Amino acid sequence: MTEFQFNVSATDGLARRGTIRMPRGEIRTPAFMPVGTAATVKAMYLDQVRDLGSDIILGNTYHLMLRPGAERVARLGGLHEFARWPYPILTDSGGFQVMSLASLRKMSEEGVTFRSHVDGSVHELTPERSIEIQGLLDSDIQMQLDECIRLPAERPEVERAMELSLRWAERCAIAFGNQPGKAMFGIVQGGDVVDLRVRSAERLRAMELKGYAVGGLAVGEPQEVMLRILEETVPVMPVEKPRYLMGVGTPDDLLQSIARGIDMFDCVMPTRAGRHGLAFTRHGRINLRNARHAEDATPLDEHSDCPASRDYARAYLHHLVRTEETLGAMLLTWNNLAYYQTLMAGARQAIETERFGDFVAETTEGWAKGEEARGAFRR
């Protein structure tokens, strides 16, 4: 296997069951990519991340270019060798974190200069430099540099940023060149303006990239807005290419987006929530900080294969969260990634058997019944 390939093996409505094949391994879609910000999925050993069924993780170009630096990672054998993850890695372009973390940003046609949030040093990110950095990291799926704007924004501003992102996509495609075993994905922008989203998708489609992302969503808008944008945008995206919804989302966001034709996701939610005492389970979200768990000897999910979900009393997790013990973050992150990957495995199987609608309904019902359902299991 030396070329990047994507095949859809089953569909159920707009939902798709596919496989990306790359030299470093296969990615079963729909896929959830755990976020490995700074060459580590926070509070996890990568062996655990793999064992949960993760085919690919995400690395953040912004964080890695600042620390330890892309050239240093390259000298150390690339990100896979550095972090001990020999499977596919997707890197973002750095654009999103420049917007959300860096200070003194200065945008131009050429690119963006900014100050590091770590030490105040000045850096420049152009489409060419972003691709160069992602190449130094040896990333398998690289993302075009785009301009992410804050919503709400006026149409002229949304349009300007979208058009700039299209020109940057072309420059990224040229910089990326011909790398058969790797991919560079374009990113559909256009905020919440449907005709701009459609134009962005059409123009990117004409560039014949290997995959396409939908960016600029999950930035605080209601879920219905996000889903409406997907409903208008996905049909314009090529059916034969993987579709990646960036930065999304809750378990429900994932199922609703899969139902609208999305194949790939990444989100800090399961890992970040795990560090803040929140567990995602079949029974919905559970805030372990809550005093009602203080003497609850039951685990998060007695039927889970994950030790973190199955073996530890909620009372113990509550204690670890309250005392801010590292093991609390370790166990809840583990539980959350296990739940996300179990959810994706369930979605893939449901699509294969053409019962994705039932799967969504049953899963949603489980969340809604919540603690009541859990009580029923125990009796």
- Which residues in this chain contact its own copies in the complex, by CB under 8 A? 38-40, 42-45, 67-68, 72, 75-77, 82-84, 294-295, 297, 311-313, 315-316, 318-320, 322-323, 325-327, 329-330
- Identify whether 266 is a catalytic site residue: yes
Measured from the CB atom, is 230 or 320 closer to its own copies?
320
53 is in an annotated binding site: no
Q: Is 6 annotated as a binding residue?
A: no
Which residues does residue 214 pair with via DSSP β-bridges, in sequence order?
188, 245
Q: Is 146 annotated as a binding residue?
A: yes
- Smallest gap from Cβ 104 to its own copies, in A, equals 22
- The answer to whether 263 is a known catalytic residue is no
On whether 216 is known to bind a ligand per the annotation, the reply is yes
Contact 289, 321 (CB under 8 A): yes
Question: Which one of 92, 140, 192, 301 is the catalytic residue?
Answer: 92
Question: CA end-to-end span of the chain, whole Å?
Answer: 51
By beta-carbon proximity to its own copies, the closer residue of 139 and 333 is 333
Q: Report the nearest approach of its own copies to the CB of residue 77 (Å).
A: 7
The string of DSSP letters for 84-140 reads T--S-EEE--SHHHHHHT-EEEEE-SS-EEEE-TTT--EEEE-HHHHHHHHHHTT-S
Measured from the CB atom, the residue of 234 and 300 that comes closer to its own copies is 300
Nearest approach, Cβ of 163 to its own copies (angstroms)? 36
Cβ of residue 114: shortest distance to its own copies, in angstroms?
A: 19
The residue among 289 and 322 lying less far from its own copies, judged by its C-beta, is 322
**Catalytic residue, candidates 12, 138, 253, 266:** 266
Contact between 244 and 237 (Cβ < 8 Å): no
Q: Are 313 and 302 in contact (CB under 8 A)?
A: no
Instruction: Name all contacts of 50-55 with Cβ < 8 Å and 24+ positions apart.
Output: 50/85, 50/87, 52/306, 52/334, 52/337, 52/338, 52/341, 53/341, 53/342, 53/344, 53/345, 54/87, 54/337, 54/341, 55/25, 55/26, 55/27, 55/28, 55/31, 55/87, 55/88
Known binding residue 92? Answer is yes
Which residues partner with 281 through β-bridges?
284
For residue 134, say whether it is annotated as part of any ligand binding site: no
Residue 263 assigned to a binding site: no
C-beta of 261 vs 299, nearer to its own copies: 299
Min CB(336)–its own copies separation in Å: 15
What's the rounded Cα separation, in Å, for the pair 200 and 165?
9
Q: What burial letters (b/e) apply to 5-41, b meaning 16+ CB within 10 Å? A: ebeeebbbeebbbbbbbbebebbbbbbbbbbbbebbb
Binding positions for substrate: 92-96, 146, 189, 216
Binding residues: 92-96, 146, 189, 216
Give the catalytic positions in this structure: 92, 266
